[in-house]
Structure 1
Amino acid sequence: MELTQAIRERRTVRQFASTPIPKALLVEVVDLACWAPSAGGQQGYRFVVAAGSARNEIQARVAASLPQIRHLVEAEFAHDPALAEEVVTFHEAFGGAPVLVLAFAGHDAEGGPEVLSVSAAIQNLLLAAHQAGLGTAWTGFATFNTEIATIVGMAGRPLIGIIPIGYPLSTPTPRPRAEGRVQWLGF
């Protein structure tokens, strides 16, 4: 698959088959994620790839925190209450994805370069997974839960995203691209 095709065709997937993903395929996808640029070349981000009981433990912690984050989701998607409910419901089981990839910034990052670096790596992960025939969704509403970082050995590192990954049950249609997002000067 060409890069242009991967960028244009990748979609957020919210329903996954329970089919296990070969570890070798996950290793390749995560390796490509780690080739993203990072601020100062520091590569301070870390990924935790969880399947089986480890995945289920993380899922249980996220599901238990949903009452605390519901208001955040509803505020973010106030323009579309149905979408807000879809996002909350998705966090209950992450669409049945067999694997969760947790993306952490460097220790005590409050924003800035560390968050930008891990965000670039997540984008690589999303594209690499799509190229490999896998679906993903970059979720962020459960990231305030410091308990998750502790149970996976990443205490002190901000959790920037949880990315469910698996074989998609369906491929969503693309949303129209918004106009007026680029300003050209001097051309």
Structure 2
Amino acid sequence: MIAVLRSELHRTLTIPSSWLSMGLAVVLGMSFALFSVDFWSLFVALGVFGIAVVVTSQHYTHRTAVLLFLGQPRRWQALAAQCLCAIVLGLVVAVVSGVTTIVSGEYEQFAGTMAATPLLAVFGVASATVIRRPVALFIAYGTWFVFAEGLAFRFKQPLPFTTFMSAAGGNPKGLLFFAGYAVVSLAVAGWFIRRDLTD
């Protein structure tokens, strides 16, 4: 699994678009932290989720998943390595973009976001393993976030992205709920990763 993790990190860090995505997430996070730490957490979430989805789904869109699974036939280990890769990259983005949050003294928000970031990375990898098309995934989750969690439930129900924002604010209950969503999504991805690569 360590070899797969090294390979995933190397592949991601040698793609210019990956650096562009991470840089954009850092700049947006740092900029919006000057106005609101909640906005910082939101943009960190968008960046970490986006990175996790793109890093995972690229294997399916560029047909490199075959090589990945030839190198690591135990697909659940490959999935675990992808999760670790997304966690490492997500934490780097969150820490660097959180400098302005620390400077402004919002330690609780920073700590809560750091605690929830690995779970969000896992959620993103799992989602991209199930829905292998990143554009469709972003549209689906964007629609869900705006219309279901926002308009229908006013961000008051323990739904995935609402619980992430609650956890980012330092709420242990929100972190617990979001951990549940991450575990369930990972279990579903563990089943879906076995399916044929032509799907």
- TM bin, normalised by shorter chain, reads under 0.3
More helix by share: 2
Relative to the length of structure 2, the TM-score reads 0.26
**Highest RCO, 1 vs 2 (Cα 8 Å, sep ≥ 6):** 1
Which of the pair is proportionally richer in strand? Answer: 1
